Structure 1
Amino acid sequence: MKSKFVSADDAALLINDGDTVALMGGGGGLMEATCLFQAVERRFLATQTPRNLTCVHALGIGDKQSRGMNCFAYEGLVRKVIGGHWVWSPRMQQLALDEKIEAYILPGGVSSQLLREIGGARPGLFTHVGLGTVCDPRHGGGRMNASAKDDLAEVVTVDGREYLRYKPYAVNVALVRASAADEDGNISFEHEAANLDAASIALAARTSGGRVIVQVRERLPRGALKAREVRIPAAWVDAIVVDADQRTSYDIPFDASLSGELTGPQRFELEAPGDEPFNERQAVARRAACELVEGAVVNYGVGVPDAVAKLVARRGELDRIYQTIEHGTYGGSLLDGVLFGYARNASAMLDAPTQFDFYAGGGLDIAFLGFGEFDALGNVNVSKLGGLTVGPGGFIDIAQNARKVVFCGTFAAKGVQLETGDGTLCVVKPGEVRKLVQQVDQVTFSGPQALLRGQQALYLTERANFRLTPEGMELFEIAPGIDLQRDVLDQMDFVPRLAENIAVMPASHFRREDDRLGALSSR
């Protein structure tokens, strides 16, 4: 057979005007085909082709500067973007804001699972995920600007129950990242820090009659890969590009503890005293960790939930829960910030669509997630803030399906000044941006839908804590030192129900002290 190995620039020539291109990756360079992305960018800047692409991606891809989705963020290069998470490409966000492209969002899991359905030539993805949120056609249908006109989903009824059918589409090109390819074109993920939706993307393009282009770090002899090491068979692959400089992340050349090739006892390096000054994020994390129970299957989101994950690790309690992230990883020590999605010394790695199947089926006991704002009905918005398209990532798939969802965040934003660390909390300046609003700009989590499902929902901040009840949002706890009227109620846009006995959070949550002692309860 003719060799499938080509240069990155030749691979970019396989993309035609108007193609739908499926991309993969996560923040920080996780399984990102950077070399291929840059080749497409070079071609466009030199020739103004390809043009009018539709780009589809489940998770956030980029570095907020020049890599990832930023390589596609040019007027004329893209016409339409269906993205799970947008914040890693401010330039693409600006194109959406300026109505230069059609901008859409889909839940990250839905996006990955829909690609799998396309790969099986099935009539779309039928799921409850997204009902009552911005992805429901009755609430916006995932359209993020005026230029977006298409309906990505429709409401259907099966056996008397409502579902969303996310509509299939043809994938003309799949740009996939992997570790190695043998001479025949068999593909291995052995040195990657996740699997993501690589196989689903490749199969969707193959079934659509499209082209599958894979970037790898190594070219191996025929027969070098064992059958069980092959994650994408040669029969699915059209072209392979070798990038000898391919890295585990943008900043990490290669780390076998991130690819799961090193195993052993879990380790967590305790920060030296004073490395991270105590602040309100840690106070929220301490309160949130009180919701954990031994044996729980848990997911952590970005933002303040990172602090919860760190707290559990510092306390040496990683072996008392089942820790998961939507990228498909179980266990290990989670990395945060730009490296969210990586886990050091993980215990298992699944394909992302399978992980999202587990979530959609109710496998999560507790999810710790952030919030941009929440309202009187318990709705949460993380997908469109300040007019910018943010996207939910895996938020909708996770928040809608966990038995208990614990939203963690700061009470207000911009200009907030707090004093804490002595066992109390003092609000010096309340903040210019209110996050507890009468009605959220966009519904990424539906409080009314949660009540119908019988789901527990808590909303934890450093000043006061709330829970969702059939009678409305109820304030049930405040921080020590907080004046309920001045610091909380006067800084909200809605009036919550007040619990009959409003508790004061333990002073220990607000003291500068070592977090080594655990607090998990037994089931």
Structure 2
Amino acid sequence: MHLLDRIGMAARIVRWRLTWERRDLDYRPPGALDARFMTAREAAALIPDGACCLSTGMAGNARCSTLLWAIRERFEQEGHPRELTWMAVGGQGGRGRAPGTVEELGQPGLVTRFISGHVETTKSMLALADAGQLEMHVLPQGEMCFALEAQGEGGDAVLSRTGVGTVLDPRCGRGSPVTPDAGLQLIEAAGEMLRYRLPRLDVAVIAAPWADARGNLYFRDAATITEIREAARAARANGGRVLASVAGVIPADPERISLPAALVDAIAVNPLQEQTILSPQRDCWRLFTPGGDGDDAAAIEKLRFINRFLRLTPVRGPVECALARLGAHVFARTAAPPATVNIGVGFGEEVCRELYQSPLRPDLTFTTETGVYGGLPAPGIYFGAAVHPERMESSAWMFRHYQEHLDVTVLGFLEVDATGNVNVSRRGPRFADYVGPGGLPSITASARTCIFVGTFMQGAKWRIENERMVLEAPGKAKLVDTVSEVTFNGREALQAGKQVWYVTTVGAFRLTDGGLVLEMVMPGLDIERDIRPHCGLRFALPDGGPATAPAAVLRDAGYVLAWGEGIRA
């Protein structure tokens, strides 16, 4: 970005930050409109005490802000609705910082049970769990979508091998409950499979870009769709209600209706509704929509600048960028074209950027579990959206597509153990440290190749000098004898015929029947000096010893990626 562009974007961010709590919960649009149109407060009054509700969206995309604010304010003023069960498939919190997220509902007595795939960003809910005021459950995002879909079709459960042998499996783990003394169990053993279900959905709270005067909804200009259709159908099948927030009223277009008025009970118009963070729906960023402006380089630079400026996501230095290049190197050597790829949050995003800007790009189709197909998965606070996607589908569609077509997934990790198990769900002993499995169990159950990317030690200090990796000070081992929680089962993956790799700051490990094998070492590192003493698990070496990764992995320029070879100068 040019200097003036950076200054302009910084000014936009500051204006957004100063006004991000603006709202008018009594706004009613003018004109002759269907009776479904009402204020946000009136819509919130339709939620009864004890109801089971679900909100849609992910991260900063398609937030139901005006309805969430209205629900909270009604509770503060009237004490109702109370004792709600609230469900959110993907991460919908603001990390205790950003307003207008599902965290608005993290009030004692308002929500007493929270069910989600990813809870790390919902700090207010985690605080209630720590205080013993909230029952918390987690399920894989894919199975949540399928269970929601099943409710819309008159069922109440789905069978799946996803999660077998992990913390989600009641035979060896706790199942769905995270907090003790839970009042229900949402995962049951069913032979060699698991049965997943959700509580009966009473109220779907959704955000769509537009409505017409008759109450039909349109997803045009959306950054994500996620579970809107499945949630609406489930609520209606259960005799419940569908509450929608939209940015405005547009002329009817029968050929492009996304959700018919027959599936909607209340529509609150919020002129300030965002397509995504910093992007008002009424002035949406085309870079997040199919057929956008096509300028990939400008879009990528814009999103990286915003994430760095807001500092809501980690800033990557030279060592972290080298780790991402090693991940791209392993990907290019192990995957085969053409490939459908899922990208996870964190280092997966950095690997994706390397692949997207490489000659491999024409043979790759990137996807995210929100249903966004094609384009470049967006980083940081925009996770779930994509730069110039080919098309938009629902989350359930995408997870089903993965079952047949997912070639590779690139994900992060918190811990890896001697049998290849991975923990991505628990950072520490407190509920405030809990992350949740997210979509990982569903995604890895489908992918033919799983590449986990993360730092070798937590808190270690490294530097790159003369195209050599140098360990300055060790940290806490992340490759351990036994992970604190099994989110991914290594043995199950091998039995299913998957390739599994663990790419770290020191090199790349491959999972075998005998455990982890160090196949590749970063230039400059000595196994006995820099790796074994700081590794909490036993690993093997291949015959002839591990290969040394290309020196170009440690450069920020002057290299290319090639299928079957990886990075070369």
Which string of whole-angstrom CA distances, capped at 9 and with x for unpartnered residues, describes residues 19-49 of structure 1? 1001111112x11111111111111222222
Q: Distance in 1 between matches of 2:379 and 2:542?
A: 35
Instruction: Tell me by how many angstroms 1:294 deviates.
Output: 2.7
Of the candidates 417, 421, 424, which is equivalent to residue 375 of structure 1? 417
Q: Secondary structure at the match of 2:562?
A: coil
Q: Distance in 2 between matches of 1:516 and 1:143?
A: 47
Of the candidates 426, 434, 437, which is equivalent to residue 470 of structure 2? 426
Q: Secondary structure at the match of 1:140?
A: coil
Of the candidates 210, 213, 217, which is equivalent to residue 187 of structure 1? 217
TM-score for both structures, normalised by structure 2: 0.85
Trace 1:437-456 onto structure 2 (pairs within 5 A). 437-456=480-499
Instruction: Tell me by how many angstroms 1:487 deviates.
Output: 2.0
- Match of 1:225, as an amino acid? D
What is the match of residue 284 of structure 1? 323
- Of 194-203 and 251-260, more deviation after overlay is shown by 251-260
What is the match of residue 24 of structure 1? 56
Which string of whole-angstrom CA distances, capped at 9 and with x for unpartnered residues, describes residues 143-192 of structure 1? 212142421021223xxxx2211124311110011011122211111111
What is the match of residue 26 of structure 2? none
Q: Distance in 1 between matches of 2:139 and 2:487?
A: 11
Structure 2 stretches of 5 or more lacking a match?
A: 1-32, 303-307, 309-314
Please say if residues 134 and 444 of structure 1, whose CA atoms lie closer than 8 Å, have aligned partners that are also in contact. Answer: yes
Q: Distance in 1 between matches of 2:301 and 2:544?
A: 38
- Match of 1:398, as an amino acid? I
Which string of whole-angstrom CA distances, capped at 9 and with x for unpartnered residues, describes residues 330-352 of structure 1? 22233201111121211121111
What is the RMSD of the two structures over their aligned residues, measured on CA atoms?
2.2
What is the match of residue 543 of structure 2? 500
Q: Secondary structure at the match of 2:546?
A: strand
- Match of 2:66, as an amino acid? C
Instruction: Tell me by how many angstroms 1:510 deviates.
Output: 4.3
Q: Distance in 1 between matches of 2:388 and 2:469?
A: 37
Instruction: Tell me by how many angstroms 1:400 deviates.
Output: 2.1
**1:250 matches 2:282:** no
Instruction: Tell me by how many angstroms 1:194 deviates.
Output: 1.5
Which string of whole-angstrom CA distances, capped at 9 and with x for unpartnered residues, describes residues 66-114 of structure 1? 3312111111111111111112222212222332211111111111111
- Of 64-73 and 173-182, more deviation after overlay is shown by 64-73
Trace 1:4-23 onto structure 2 (pairs within 5 A). 4-23=36-55
Q: Distance in 2 between matches of 1:421 and 1:181?
A: 57
Which string of whole-angstrom CA distances, capped at 9 and with x for unpartnered residues, describes residues 313-370 of structure 1? 23254222111111111222332011111212111211110000011x2411111100
Of the candidates 116, 133, 155, which is equivalent to residue 122 of structure 1? 155
Identity of aligned residues (%): 32
**1:150 matches 2:184:** yes
What is the match of residue 17 of structure 2? none
Which string of whole-angstrom CA distances, capped at 9 and with x for unpartnered residues, describes residues 257-279 of structure 1? 2122526575567869xx99852
Q: Distance in 2 between matches of 1:485 and 1:329?
A: 45
**1:225 matches 2:249:** no
Q: Distance in 2 between matches of 1:213 and 1:26?
A: 18
Structure 1 stretches of 5 or more lacking a match?
A: none
Q: Distance in 1 between matches of 2:492 and 2:106?
A: 35
**1:174 matches 2:204:** yes
Q: Distance in 2 between matches of 1:2 and 1:220?
A: 13
Which string of whole-angstrom CA distances, capped at 9 and with x for unpartnered residues, describes residues 267-313 of structure 1? 567869xx998522222222221223331111111111111111122
Q: Distance in 2 between matches of 1:346 and 1:287?
A: 26
Q: Secondary structure at the match of 1:367?
A: strand
What is the match of residue 79 of structure 2? 48
Please say if residues 129 and 397 of structure 1, whose CA atoms lie closer than 8 Å, have aligned partners that are also in contact. Answer: yes
- Of 249-258 and 296-305, more deviation after overlay is shown by 249-258
Instruction: Tell me by how many angstroms 1:443 deviates.
Output: 1.0
What is the match of residue 75 of structure 1? 108
Higher helix share: 2
Please say if residues 54 and 80 of structure 1, whose CA atoms lie closer than 8 Å, have aligned partners that are also in contact. Answer: yes
What is the match of residue 336 of structure 1? 379
Q: Distance in 1 between matches of 2:291 and 2:207?
A: 18
- Match of 1:45, as an amino acid? E
| Consecutive aligned runs of 4 or more in structure 1 exceeding 4 Å deviation | 263-272, 275-278
What is the match of residue 57 of structure 1? 88
Q: How many residues get paired?
A: 510
Q: Distance in 1 between matches of 2:164 and 2:448?
A: 17
What is the match of residue 406 of structure 1? 451
Which string of whole-angstrom CA distances, capped at 9 and with x for unpartnered residues, describes residues 98-140 of structure 1? 3221111111111111111011111411222222222222211
Closer/same/farther in 2, CA of residues 270 and 51 from structure 1, 3 Å limit: closer
Please say if residues 83 and 110 of structure 2, whose CA atoms lie closer than 8 Å, have aligned partners that are also in contact. Answer: yes
